[in-house]
């Protein structure tokens, strides 16, 4: 039992059950209330029977405050400190105190250290890119990945609870939360299915990789890491769980260390690995989760190439918009589906092409942006988020904002929100509801309201409109819109004025405003043309207009059938406007009149020759602010309607004006030249003067004029002293004075103020220039290419932000597309019905935008390497599943190797440890995109599943892979170096094709094909560098082009029924097919082992020539020994047959001789032994004799020696006496 | 899964549609090509253009119906390399070169195109004009290098032709965004007065008359006379003048005029031609902008194909061709330009209204180029 603290005046003791209920319902409240009061603290205590939840307060005054630190001012301690301080002052600068230590010891070493420092500095540089991150970025996608039962859902739940204080049951689909003032997070759980792992890697910003420490790494972890490596490496953070299963602390530490180091080798040295030490009531420890959350919320992400260059959506809400009736009649019909999510990556263009991994490629039907369901808090200066701002949005999990059922909308609000919201909502419930509705379905609403105008007055009821639910509206849209258009067209044909009215009405209705306003508007239209009455969410087109031409207060009715018409109405409006000057008005009047005249002449004439029109239009633009945008792009409504016209009316109303004019213009001369027919007469001086300032000889602007520039220089450098002469030049002060006087000559009263102002401005300007100059001079030496580039890109980024920053979103999306960070709704028609029927929210739906030609198919040439952990090598022409770009698809690769001469040569198998080329038929994907390949995505295998990885090198519409082909022929007639060869070709034509080709024999003799022979067919004459043998084989080495099979089979795993989504199987490999069908290849009989049969060897007799025989010595001469022939009969002796008596005698003799022989043998044996003994004796004697002799000799020598000694001694004795 | 295509009516703006189709990879179908005409179907020069397109691409599919009134074009990948093409003399080489200028930076291998035919005629921008205006414009977008040039080897006037132009262009992976909002003041005027198979004096006469007009504004005028002889002079006689005004900021405005082709219309006096051409240049200056009026579409295309960054270009009034080009860009790339009219102040004497075009590039990268 561990207790953190127990010092309280009162405690809450709760049973386990109570605590549970507290965490479910009131826990957030309690926590927050605890936060309010600072002196409270919580204590958690584990006890045998449950949890003791104690809360204590130190509010009472009895508790003593801790003693404050007092600084000593006297005594030894204080003196010591003082002395130290003074000393410190003396030896302040180390360099000065000890200059020797800092002097240059070695120039070489200094250079080396400098180089090293520079190297390290440069290594840190990345290639700078333009910062295209939006101001309000989309939520960060955090993918939580790991093998089953490792605690993924628990971790997500804990993190969500940590950030939002809310509990989420089933984690289903993406969960978006607001984690801080500037950051939102989207959590997504990734299960063990390799399809899901691949898809989520492509959208992940951060990966939380859960690892079961009690088990260690699992294959999925490594697979996922490898997938990450291929598709750009998102941030990866490891999380170790199940650490409480370790009983032994030492083994825990050891495991942590080994796991950490393995993780580091996979990710990078020092990658963050979190430890979640244990569970407390099915949740991770709060402090640990909090730490993890902090790490996540301060993390920075690197831009990944693929993600930043493509728009994508992690769909968090899906709705089926298909007509229910159609679904009823044909359950398998294609569905229209709207998908919602935060846009990420790049800008998304309307009507672009997208790929949904697991489903296929689709054309985006319609895109619209909605209000953010999970917005960041408004900019405020406080530190933390309040309860209201901690939002949670997970429609697929059934939490946050709106939950759509089949025919109802549930608005789910957290308990804390309810009170405030209700207060707001009560008075204008309709408004709120319509707002909630309107943002999501603006376009559908437009369509619906259009209808309501024409079908009857009853539908004009505003309550009716607001009561419409989404599905019902959709039905109306499909049924009635066309009718509506038809009606509208009829009206147009009949009467012009009427038409305008109609359109105006329609306009108001389309805006989604209550139709009650219509009459009022119409009434007002005569007097003012102001748009103030128009609803805020009017037609987007109008919004644009407003922003562009602010002078014209009135937004024209966006009838938009032709630009002229629009301009006319504009004119009308400006005509009515009081603000405009009279002169301008007059011009417009005249213009309008002329236009009306033309109108009367007929529609056909009006539209004749758009070139002239354009020129005229431009001229007109000079008077009134023109609407070039409309001239160029028309209005969106116009385009669609004119198309519908064509479809709808067919031959009946062919004579319509715009159509006709288009026809006339359609086949005109295609020329880029712009012929001027403006009628400027360039002989007139005035006209000439109008462009006078375009030339350097003309007048310059204030800031750039040479005179002013000179003067500025004067100001800067006017005062100087010539040091040689000692002259001091001072600039003339009256110079500027004069100038000022000139400027202010006319208006004296205001001069004083202006003068000061001017002076001040001038001073500021001068200061700025000086600073600029100083900066440029100062930084010049230091700025590198890298710095310049970075600065340039920084400027571009600023420009990007500024260019459309001041526009409203409606018009902005038209120019730059939908910004990343927007919450958008994408409508896609003709999705397969399985997408809806087999929808499983646990699987991510990703909408990946495609570049301009990425929707096409072609041949891709890639560099591929079999993964070193994959057990087998890959076979050419075996189907393989690739993950490339957004897509997962099955295709048939051909492996090849590039020869030294650039030839791509087919390989049968991938090399073991080397890169090779691979060519596939697949979707065009930009070069440099990484890919990975797997053999199958079905189920899970024990072994590593990623078969190969690589990168796209080249895209083309044809391939040049060849394989070697050896044609073999046999010589059938050989002249000197010429030879006739047969068997290589079948016809003369074939030979003709290969005339001049080089051939070779097996023995290495090279030659050339010369000419075909008439017979036999296919034989030819060839010359060689040497004479051939009949046994030679001639071969011709040639290269045969191989074609890449055009198989592109997208993996449609998302269409499979729920629960079986990981069981997609495509084309089988040859090996699998054979295995399944039980087919075994008949082996080539030549390759089989056979018993070795060896024939006995026969040698011919050796023949020695007679001459040689003669010369040989006798020993070596062959002996003429004839084998003995059979003895002739006459020489054969007859056998003797004995008489019985003789036989007895012979037997006796034999017995006797046997006995005799025995005796003799024995005697001989005895004799032998005796002799041996004798020899031994003799030897012994000999030895004794020798011994004796030696003794004697010894004695003798001794005596002799003694004698000698004596003699010597005597001689020696004698000698001294002699001396 | 091939991406959806686009359908158009009529043969006008034929080139832009095919060029944009090639760059965007979207297939295009053009119907009703002169279907009501006495001679329906594609003309020879259009067929020649299609053939040229086929030469520079790999894997294009072109289908034309029996009468030639319907054309289906499925673009392949731009291949480049050495290409030789006999341009049909109905249109000048400029007609073909304009399209090649748009395609050349996005090839697999650097393009070296030899175009034979009419180098100068009154309808299309001539080779000299493109050489002096389009190339410096493209250089601003980062398409540069030593092998980036247009060389007039032989000059051939309409209607006979017989000229030869060599166009070489390096390939680029991406295009830089540009900010051309300030044209600057014109500092010099240059020009080429060319004449073939006529008296060499023609050139001098043209220069004299042109100078007489332009000298009112600027002293720095130099007009080269280019008289080609022998095999280099093509098959028909003629003369003409190309004038280029260069500003301080490196923008080029140009005007040109050619003599009427032999046997078509009234002959022109060289003096008149020189004077009129100079006036055309003044008109061009009046229109102003950073880009010449015949190169507007090229500039807009390169802006569209830039990185995902904002590009700005100041143009003179938009020509009808450019307007249609903008529409086509919207069809093929879903890019709309922000068009702002800049009216000059009263006291400024800088010609007419200007148009500021702003767009965000599609982030196009050259998918044809091989990486090693």
A1038-1083 per-position pLDDT tens digit? 999 999 999 999 999 999 998 899 899 999 999 999 999 999 989 9
Rounded Cα distance between A677 and B75, Å, is 37
Taking the CA of residue A751 and the nearest CA in chain B, the distance in Å comes to 24
Q: Which residues contact A610 (CB under 8 A, 6 or more apart)?
A: A661, A665, B320
Rounded Cα distance between A760 and A774, Å, is 21
Q: Is B327 in the A-facing interface, judged by CB distances under 8 Å?
A: yes
Mean pLDDT of A1103-1121: 87
3-state class percentages of chain A: helix first, strand second, coil last, to nearest 5: 45, 20, 40
Q: Which of B286, B326, B356 to mutate to test the interface with A (most CBs of A within 10 A)?
A: B286
Q: Do B310 and A803 touch (CB under 8 A)?
A: yes
Q: Regarding predicted confidence, which is higher, A675 or A486?
A: A675
Q: Which two tokens stand for residue B23?
A: 């760059």
Q: Regarding predicted confidence, which is higher, A1067 or A418?
A: A1067
A180-227 per-position pLDDT tens digit? 888 999 999 998 899 999 999 999 999 999 999 999 999 989 999 999
Taking the CA of residue A41 and the nearest CA in chain B, the distance in Å comes to 53
- Grade residue A829 by pLDDT with cuts at 50, 70 and 90: confident
Q: Residue with structure tokens 């294959």?
A: A219
Q: Is A685 in the B-facing interface, judged by CB distances under 8 Å?
A: no
- Grade residue A680 by pLDDT with cuts at 50, 70 and 90: confident
Specify the 3-state DSSP secondary structure of A734. Answer: helix
Rounded Cα distance between A963 and A1211, Å, is 115
pLDDT of residue A985: 95
Q: How far apart are the first and last CA of chain B?
A: 29
Q: Residue with structure tokens 């002996």?
A: A1119
pLDDT of residue A61: 47
Q: Regarding predicted confidence, which is higher, A203 or A710?
A: A203
Would you say residue A10 has pLDDT above 50?
A: no
pLDDT of residue B352: 86
Rounded Cα distance between B15 and B325, Å, is 10
Q: Is B185 in the A-facing interface, judged by CB distances under 8 Å?
A: yes
Minimal CA–CA distance to B276: which of B264, B268, B287?
A: B268
CA atoms within 13 A on the CB side of B325: 25
Question: Could you tell me if A950 and A918 are in contact, meaning their C-beta atoms sit under 8 angstroms apart?
Answer: yes
Q: Do A672 and B294 touch (CB under 8 A)?
A: yes
Mean pLDDT of A863-886: 95
Query: How high does pLDDT run on average in chain B?
Result: 92
Q: Do B367 and A361 touch (CB under 8 A)?
A: no
Specify the 3-state DSSP secondary structure of A55. Answer: strand
Q: Do B2 and A700 touch (CB under 8 A)?
A: no
Q: Regarding predicted confidence, which is higher, A412 or B293?
A: B293
Ordered alpha helix ranges (H), chain B? 14-24, 44-56, 93-103, 127-129, 135-140, 201-214, 270-287, 296-304, 320-333
pLDDT of residue A90: 60
A534-547 per-position pLDDT tens digit? 333 333 333 444 44
Rounded Cα distance between B172 and B366, Å, is 7
A506-515 per-position pLDDT tens digit? 443 333 333 3
Q: Is B345 in the A-facing interface, judged by CB distances under 8 Å?
A: no
Taking the CA of residue A819 and the nearest CA in chain B, the distance in Å comes to 12
Mean pLDDT of A640-656: 42
Bridge partner residues of A320 (DSSP)? A337
Q: Is A691 in the B-facing interface, judged by CB distances under 8 Å?
A: yes
- A618 vs B contacts (CB less than 8 Å): 317-318, 353
Mean pLDDT of B316-330: 92
pLDDT of residue A598: 45
- Grade residue A172 by pLDDT with cuts at 50, 70 and 90: confident
Q: In chain A, which residue's Cα lies nearest the Cα of B11?
A: A667
Would you say residue A242 has pLDDT above 50?
A: yes
Q: Which residues contact A429 (CB under 8 A, 6 or more apart)?
A: none
- A662 vs B contacts (CB less than 8 Å): 9-10
Q: Regarding predicted confidence, which is higher, B335 or A710?
A: B335
Rounded Cα distance between A1041 and A961, Å, is 6
- B69 vs A contacts (CB less than 8 Å): none
Distance of CA A592 to the CA centre of its chain: 58
Q: Do B108 and A691 touch (CB under 8 A)?
A: no
Q: Do B15 and A680 touch (CB under 8 A)?
A: no
Rounded Cα distance between B276 and A685, Å, is 16
pLDDT of residue B344: 83
Q: Which two tokens stand for residue B275?
A: 């004077």
Backbone φ/ψ region at B112: left (φ over 0), alpha (ψ -120 to 50), beta: beta
Sheet holding B338-342, edge to edge: B179-180, B310-315, B354-360, B338-342
Rounded Cα distance between A751 and B347, Å, is 24
Q: Is B4 in the A-facing interface, judged by CB distances under 8 Å?
A: yes
Q: Which of A23-37, A676-690, A911-925 has the highest mean pLDDT?
A: A911-925
Quick count: other Cβ atoms within 10 Å of Cβ A994? 17
Specify the 3-state DSSP secondary structure of A1036. Answer: strand
pLDDT of residue A610: 54
A20-58 per-position pLDDT tens digit? 333 333 333 333 333 333 343 333 434 334 333 333 444
B262-317 per-position pLDDT tens digit? 888 888 999 999 999 999 999 999 998 999 999 999 999 999 999 999 999 999 99
pLDDT of residue A781: 57
Would you say residue A662 has pLDDT above 60?
A: no
Q: Which residues contact A157 (CB under 8 A, 6 or more apart)?
A: A167, A168, A171, A283
Mean pLDDT of B127-139: 95
- B221 vs A contacts (CB less than 8 Å): none
B100-124 per-position pLDDT tens digit? 999 999 999 999 999 999 999 999 9
Which domains does chain B possess? 1-78 (3.30.110), 186-287 (3.30.360.20)
pLDDT of residue A559: 39
Q: Do B287 and A816 touch (CB under 8 A)?
A: no
Q: Regarding predicted confidence, which is higher, A978 or A1087?
A: A978
Would you say residue A478 has pLDDT above 60?
A: no
Q: Residue with structure tokens 């055009």?
A: A1046
Distance of CA B254 to the CA centre of its chain: 12
H or E stretch at A576: helix A563-576
Rounded Cα distance between A824 and A75, Å, is 74
Q: Which residues contact A1003 (CB under 8 A, 6 or more apart)?
A: A1029, A1032
Q: Which two tokens stand for residue A112?
A: 């080396």
Q: What CA–CA distances, in Å, run from A902 to A282, A389, A961, B78? A: 62, 62, 11, 21
Q: Is A958 in the B-facing interface, judged by CB distances under 8 Å?
A: yes
Q: Exposed, middle or buried by CB within 10 Å (0-12, 13-18, 19+), for A763? A: exposed
- A692 vs B contacts (CB less than 8 Å): 217, 349
Mean pLDDT of B62-83: 94
Q: What is the DSSP string of B241-272?
A: EEEEEEETTS-EEEEEEEPPPTTSS----HHH
Would you say residue A446 has pLDDT above 50?
A: no
A:826-865 residues touching chain B, CB 8 A cutoff = 851-858
Mean pLDDT of A844-872: 93
Would you say residue A3 has pLDDT above 70?
A: no
- B282 vs A contacts (CB less than 8 Å): 680, 682, 688, 691
pLDDT of residue A224: 94
Taking the CA of residue A378 and the nearest CA in chain B, the distance in Å comes to 28
Say which range, A164-178, A907-921, B327-341, has the weakest mean pLDDT: A164-178
Question: Could you tell me if A641 and A485 are in contact, meaning their C-beta atoms sit under 8 angstroms apart?
Answer: yes
Q: What CA–CA distances, in Å, run from A669 to A672, A767, A1067, B6, B126? A: 9, 58, 53, 21, 16
- Grade residue A685 by pLDDT with cuts at 50, 70 and 90: confident
Q: What CA–CA distances, in Å, run from A1010 to A985, A996, B38, B84, B116? A: 14, 6, 58, 34, 40
Q: Which two tokens stand for residue A656?
A: 């319509």
- Grade residue A660 by pLDDT with cuts at 50, 70 and 90: very low
Q: Is B349 in the A-facing interface, judged by CB distances under 8 Å?
A: yes
Angle (deg, nearest 10), helices B320-333 and B14-24: 30
pLDDT of residue A182: 86
A68-103 per-position pLDDT tens digit? 888 888 888 888 888 887 766 666 677 787 888 888
B:244-303 residues touching chain A, CB 8 A cutoff = 248, 279-280, 282-283, 285-288, 293-294, 296-297
Strands (E), A401-537: 401-404, 409-412
Query: How high does pLDDT run on average in chain A?
Result: 76
- B343 vs A contacts (CB less than 8 Å): 622
pLDDT of residue A167: 85
Rounded Cα distance between A232 and A227, Å, is 9
Question: Could you tell me if A888 and A1051 are in contact, meaning their C-beta atoms sit under 8 angstroms apart?
Answer: yes
Q: Which two tokens stand for residue A1022?
A: 């060839």
Q: Do A694 and B358 touch (CB under 8 A)?
A: no
Question: Could you tell me if B205 and B185 are in contact, meaning their C-beta atoms sit under 8 angstroms apart?
Answer: no
Would you say residue B357 has pLDDT above 60?
A: yes
Strands (E), A407-541: 409-412
pLDDT of residue A708: 74
- A852 vs B contacts (CB less than 8 Å): 23-26, 332-333, 362, 364
């Amino acid at each position: 039992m561990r207790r953190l603290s127990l010092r309280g005046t009162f405690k809450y003791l709760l049973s386990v059950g109570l605590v549970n209920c507290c965490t479910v319902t009131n826990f957030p409240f309690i926590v927050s209330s605890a936060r309010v009061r600072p002196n409270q603290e919580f204590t958690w205590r584990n006890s045998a029977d449950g949890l003791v939840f104690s809360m204590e307060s130190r509010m009472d005054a009895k508790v003593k405050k801790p003693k404050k630190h007092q600084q000593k001012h006297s005594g030894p301690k204080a003196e010591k400190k003082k002395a130290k301080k003074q000393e410190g002052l003396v030896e302040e600068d180390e360099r000065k105190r000890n200059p020797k230590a800092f002097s240059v010891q070695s120039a070489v070493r200094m250079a080396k250290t400098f180089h090293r420092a520079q190297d390290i500095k440069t290594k840190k540089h990345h290639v700078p890119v333009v910062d295209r991150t939006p101001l309000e970025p989309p939520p960060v996608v955090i993918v939580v990945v790991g093998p089953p039962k490792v605690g993924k859902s628990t971790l997500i739940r804990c993190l969500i609870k940590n950030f939002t204080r809310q509990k989420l049951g089933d984690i289903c689909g993406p969960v978006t939360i607001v984690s801080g003032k500037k950051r939102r997070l989207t959590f997504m759980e990734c299960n063990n299915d390799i399809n899901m792992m691949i898809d989520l890697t492509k959208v992940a910003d951060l990966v939380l990789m859960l690892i079961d420490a009690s088990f260690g790494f699992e294959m999925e972890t490594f697979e996922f890491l490898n997938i990450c490596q291929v598709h750009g490496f998102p941030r990866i953070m490891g999380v170790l769980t199940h650490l409480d299963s370790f009983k032994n602390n030492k083994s825990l530490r050891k495991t942590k260390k080994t796991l950490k180091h393995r993780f580091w080798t996979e990710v990078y040295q020092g990658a963050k690995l979190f430890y979640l030490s244990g569970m407390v009531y099915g949740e991770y420890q709060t402090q640990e989760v909090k730490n993890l959350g902090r790490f996540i919320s301060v993390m920075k992400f690197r831009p990944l190439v693929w993600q930043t260059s493509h728009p994508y959506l992690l769909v968090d809400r899906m709705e089926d918009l298909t007509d229910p009736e159609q679904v009823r009649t044909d359950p398998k019909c294609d569905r229209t589906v709207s998908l919602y999510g935060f846009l990420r990556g790049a800008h998304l263009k309307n009507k672009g092409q997208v790929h949904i991994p697991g489903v296929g490629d689709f054309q985006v039907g319609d895109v619209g942006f909605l209000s953010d369901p999970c917005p960041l808090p408004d900019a405020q200066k406080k530190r933390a988020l309040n309860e209201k701002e901690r939002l949670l949005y997970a429609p697929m999990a059934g939490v946050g904002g709106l939950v759509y059922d089949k025919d109802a909308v549930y608005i789910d609000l957290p308990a804390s929100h309810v009170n405030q919201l209700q207060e707001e909502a009560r008075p204008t419930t309709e408004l709120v509801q319509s707002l909630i509705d309107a943002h999501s379905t603006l376009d559908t609403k437009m369509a619906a309201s259009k209808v309501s105008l024409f079908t009857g007055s009853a539908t004009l009821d505003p309550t009716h409109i607001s009561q419409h639910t989404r599905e019902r509206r959709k039905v109306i849209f499909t049924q009635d819109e066309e009718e509506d258009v038809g009606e509208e067209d009829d009206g147009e044909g009949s009467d012009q004025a009427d038409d305008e009215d109609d359109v105006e009405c329609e306009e108001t209705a389309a805006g989604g405003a209550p139709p009650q306003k219509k009459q009022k508007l119409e009434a007002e239209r005569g007097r003012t043309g102001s748009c103030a009455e128009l609803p805020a969410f009017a037609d987007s087109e109008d919004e644009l207009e407003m922003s562009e031409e602010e002078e014209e207060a009135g937004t024209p009715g966006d009838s938009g059938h032709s630009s002229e018409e629009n301009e006319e109405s504009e004119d009308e409006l400006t005509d009515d406007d009081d603000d405009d000057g009279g002169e301008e008005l007059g011009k417009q009047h005249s213009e309008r009149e002329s236009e009306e005249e033309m109108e009367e002449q007929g529609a056909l004439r009006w539209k004749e020759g758009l070139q002239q029109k354009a020129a005229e239009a431009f001229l007109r633009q000079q008077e009134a602010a023109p609407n070039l945008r409309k001239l160029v792009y028309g209005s969106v409504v116009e385009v669609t309607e004119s198309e519908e016209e064509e479809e709808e009316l067919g031959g009946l109303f062919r004579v319509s004006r715009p159509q006709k004019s288009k026809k006339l213009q359609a086949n005109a001369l295609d020329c880029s030249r712009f012929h001027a027919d403006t009628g400027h007469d360039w002989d007139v001086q005035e006209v000439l003067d109008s462009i006078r300032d375009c030339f350097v000889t003309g007048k310059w602007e204030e800031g750039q004029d040479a005179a002013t520039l000179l003067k500025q220089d004067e100001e800067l450098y006017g005062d100087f002293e010539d040091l040689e002469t000692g002259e001091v030049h001072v600039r003339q002060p009256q110079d500027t004075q004069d100038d000022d006087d000139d400027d202010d000559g006319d208006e004296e009263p205001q001069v004083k103020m202006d003068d000061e102002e001017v002076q001040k401005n001038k001073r500021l300007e001068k200061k700025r220039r000086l600073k600029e100059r100083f900066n440029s001079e100062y930084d010049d030496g230091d700025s590198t290419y890298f710095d310049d580039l970075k600065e340039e890109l920084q400027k571009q980024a600023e420009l990007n932000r500024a260019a459309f920053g001041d526009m409203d979103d409606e018009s902005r999306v038209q120019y730059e597309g939908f910004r990343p960070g927007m919450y958008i709704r994408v409508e896609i028609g003709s999705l397969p019905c399985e997408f809806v029927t087999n929808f499983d929210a646990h699987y991510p739906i990703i909408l990946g935008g495609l570049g301009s030609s990425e929707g096409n198919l072609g041949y891709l040439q890639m560099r591929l390497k079999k993964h070193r952990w994959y057990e087998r090598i890959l076979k050419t022409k075996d189907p393989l599943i690739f993950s490339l770009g957004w897509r997962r698809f099955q295709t048939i690769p051909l492996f090849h190797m590039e020869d030294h001469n650039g030839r791509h040569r087919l390989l049968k198998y991938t090399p073991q440890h080397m890169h090779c080329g691979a060519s596939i038929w697949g979707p065009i994907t930009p070069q440099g995109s990484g890919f990975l390949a797997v053999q199958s995505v079905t189920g899970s295998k024990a072994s590593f599943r990623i078969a190969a990885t690589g990168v796209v090198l080249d895209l083309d519409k044809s391939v040049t892979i060849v394989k070697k082909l050896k044609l073999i022929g046999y010589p059938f007639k050989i002249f000197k170096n010429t030879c006739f060869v047969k068997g290589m070709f079948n016809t003369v034509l074939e030979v003709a094709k290969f005339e001049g080709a080089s051939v070779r024999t097996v023995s290495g003799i090279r030659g050339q094909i010369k000419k075909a022979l008439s017979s036999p067919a296919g034989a030819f004459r060839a010359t060689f560098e040497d004479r051939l043998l009949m046994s030679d084989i001639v071969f011709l080495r040639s290269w045969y082009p191989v074609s890449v099979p055009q198989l592109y089979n997208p993996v449609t795993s998302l269409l499979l029924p729920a629960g079986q989504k990981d069981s997609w199987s495509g084309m089988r490999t040859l090996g699998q097919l054979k295995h399944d069908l039980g087919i075994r290849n008949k082996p080539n009989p030549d390759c089989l082992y056979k018993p070795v049969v060896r024939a006995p060897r026969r040698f011919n007799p050796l023949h020695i020539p007679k001459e040689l025989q003669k010369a040989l010595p006798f020993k070596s001469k062959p002996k003429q020994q004839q084998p003995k022939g059979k003895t002739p009969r006459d020489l054969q002796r007859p056998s003797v047959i004995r008489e019985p008596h003789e036989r007895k005698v012979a037997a006796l003799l034999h017995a006797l001789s046997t006995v005799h022989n025995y005796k003799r043998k024995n005697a001989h044996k005895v004799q032998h032994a005796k002799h041996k003994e004798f020899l031994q004796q003799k030897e012994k004697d000999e030895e004794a004799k020798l011994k004796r002799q030696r003794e004697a000799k010894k004695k003798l020598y001794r005596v002799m020696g003694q004698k000698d000694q004596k003699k010597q001694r005597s001689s020696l004795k004698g000698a001294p006496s002699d001396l | 899964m091939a991406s959806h295509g686009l359908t158009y009516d009529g043969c006008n703006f034929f080139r832009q549609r095919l060029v944009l189709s090639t760059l965007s990879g979207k297939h295009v179908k053009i119907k009703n090509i002169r279907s009501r005409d006495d001679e329906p179907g594609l003309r020879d020069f259009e067929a020649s253009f299609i053939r040229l397109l086929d030469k520079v691409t790999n894997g294009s599919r072109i289908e034309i119906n029996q009468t030639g009134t319907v054309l289906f074009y499925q673009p392949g990948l731009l291949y480049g390399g050495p290409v030789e093409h006999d341009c049909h003399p109905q249109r000048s080489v400029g007609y073909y070169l304009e399209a090649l200028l748009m395609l050349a930076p996005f090839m697999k291998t650097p393009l070296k195109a030899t175009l034979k035919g009419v180098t100068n005629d009154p309808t299309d921008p001539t080779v000299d004009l493109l050489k002096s205006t389009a190339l410096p414009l493209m250089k601003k977008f980062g398409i540069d290098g030593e092998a980036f040039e247009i060389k007039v080897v032989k000059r051939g006037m309409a209607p006979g032709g017989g000229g030869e132009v060599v166009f070489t262009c390096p390939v680029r992976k991406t295009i830089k965004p540009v900010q051309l909002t300030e044209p600057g003041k014109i500092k010099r005027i240059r020009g080429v007065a060319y004449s073939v198979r006529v008296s060499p004096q023609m050139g001098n006469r043209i220069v004299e008359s042109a100078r007489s007009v332009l000298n009112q504004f600027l002293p720095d005028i130099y007009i080269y006379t280019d008289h080609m002889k022998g095999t280099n002079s093509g098959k028909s006689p003629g003369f003409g003048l190309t004038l280029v005004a260069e500003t301080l900021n490196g923008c080029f405005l140009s005007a040109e005029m050619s003599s009427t082709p032999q046997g078509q219309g009234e002959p022109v006096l060289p003096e008149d031609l020189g004077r009129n051409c100079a006036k055309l240049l003044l008109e061009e200056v009046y229109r102003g902008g950073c880009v010449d009026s015949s190169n507007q579409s090229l500039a807009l295309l390169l802006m569209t194909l830039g990185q995902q960054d904002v590009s700005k270009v100041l143009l003179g009034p938009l020509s009808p061709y450019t307007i249609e080009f903008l529409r086509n860009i919207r069809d093929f790339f879903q890019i709309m330009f922000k068009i702002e009219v800049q009216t000059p102040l009263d006291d400024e004497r800088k010609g007419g209204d200007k148009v500021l075009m702003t767009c965000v590039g599609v982030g196009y990268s050259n998918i044809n180029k091989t990486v090693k």
